[in-house]
């Protein structure tokens, strides 16, 4: 039932998103959208010594995609950039407390992780173009 989905935690992050906005002169800026519903997420990162010093997200979309993005920014803030590699689909679904979403809505929940992983890959590939092959699979979420 949808009461199980739209619990207070999700609605709170949806109404009062954490780390929402843009960073001036970010080290990484990346965005993507979900073709199914047009949800958009963009993420800005400030990275120092491979640590995520600042993270902001922006976007338009449903409660699940926006709340999930908000929670994700809290999850990785001040963590090493490489932790992004370790985050799995299940981590996100557990973190937002929605482990039995249908296939269509799972895409909403995972959009921000997809964008974040794309950003990380871009960061490493920009620094070292020869790592492109090795990084190619790192942005996969599904």
Partner 1 sequence: MQALLDVYKIRQDFPILNRKLNDGKRLVYLDNAATTQKPKEVIDSISRYYSEYNSNIHRAVYQIAEEATQEYENTREKIRKFINARYPEEIIFTRNTTESINLVAYTWGNSNIKKGNKVILTEYEHHSNIVPWQTLCHNKGAKVKYLEVDDDGYISLEDLEVLISQKGGGKTKMIALSEMSNVLGTIFPAREIIKLAHEKEIPVLLDGAQSVPHMKTDVQQTDCDFLAFSAHKMLGPTGVGVLYVKKEILEDMKPFILGGDMIKEVHKENTIFNDLPYRFEGGTPNIADVIGFSAAIDYLNRIGMENVREHEHKMTTYLLDKIQNIKSTTIYGPKNAKDRGGLVSFNMEGIHPHDCATILNDYGVAIRSGHHCAQVLMEKLDIVASSRASIYIYNTNEEIDILIEALNHARRIFDI
**Segment near partner 1 (CB under 8 A), from 24-32, 43-51, 55-63, 80-88?**
55-63
Contact flag: residue 17 with partner 1 (CB under 8 A) = no
Contact flag: residue 39 with partner 1 (CB under 8 A) = yes
Contact flag: residue 1 with partner 1 (CB under 8 A) = yes
In the list 28, 42, 44, 61, the residue contacting partner 1 (rule: CB under 8 A) is: 61
Residue 22 or 60: the one with the smaller Cβ distance to partner 1 is 60
Query: Are 5 and 65 in contact, with CB atoms under 8 Å apart?
Result: no
| Cα torsion angle, 41, 14, 75, 87, sign | negative
**Segment near partner 1 (CB under 8 A), from 3-11, 17-25, 41-49, 126-134?**
3-11
Contact flag: residue 40 with partner 1 (CB under 8 A) = yes
Query: Are 84 and 121 in contact, with CB atoms under 8 Å apart?
Result: no
User: How many binding residues for partner 1 (CB under 8 A)?
Assistant: 18
Phi, psi for residue 42 in degrees, rounded to 5: -125, 145
DSSP β-bridge partners for residue 32: 41
Rounded distance between C-alpha atoms, residue 57 and residue 136, angstroms: 23
Q: Which H or E element spans position 48?
A: strand 40-48
Binding site for partner 1 (CB under 8 A): 1-3, 5-6, 11, 36-40, 60-64, 105, 108
């Amino acid at each position: 039932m949808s009461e199980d989905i739209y619990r207070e935690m999700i609605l709170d992050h949806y109404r009062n998103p954490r780390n929402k906005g843009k960073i001036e002169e970010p080290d990484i800026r990346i965005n993507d959208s979900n073709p199914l519903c047009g949800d958009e997420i963009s993420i800005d990162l400030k990275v120092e010594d491979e640590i995520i010093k600042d993270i902001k997200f922006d976007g338009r979309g449903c409660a699940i995609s926006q709340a999930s993005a908000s929670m994700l920014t809290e999850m990785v803030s001040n963590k090493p950039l490489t932790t992004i590699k370790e985050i799995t689909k299940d981590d996100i679904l557990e973190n937002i407390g929605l482990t039995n979403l249908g296939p269509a809505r799972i895409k909403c929940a995972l959009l921000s992780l997809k964008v974040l992983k794309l950003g990380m890959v871009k960061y490493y590939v920009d620094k070292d173009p020869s790592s492109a092959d090795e990084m190619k699979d790192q942005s996969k979420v599904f």
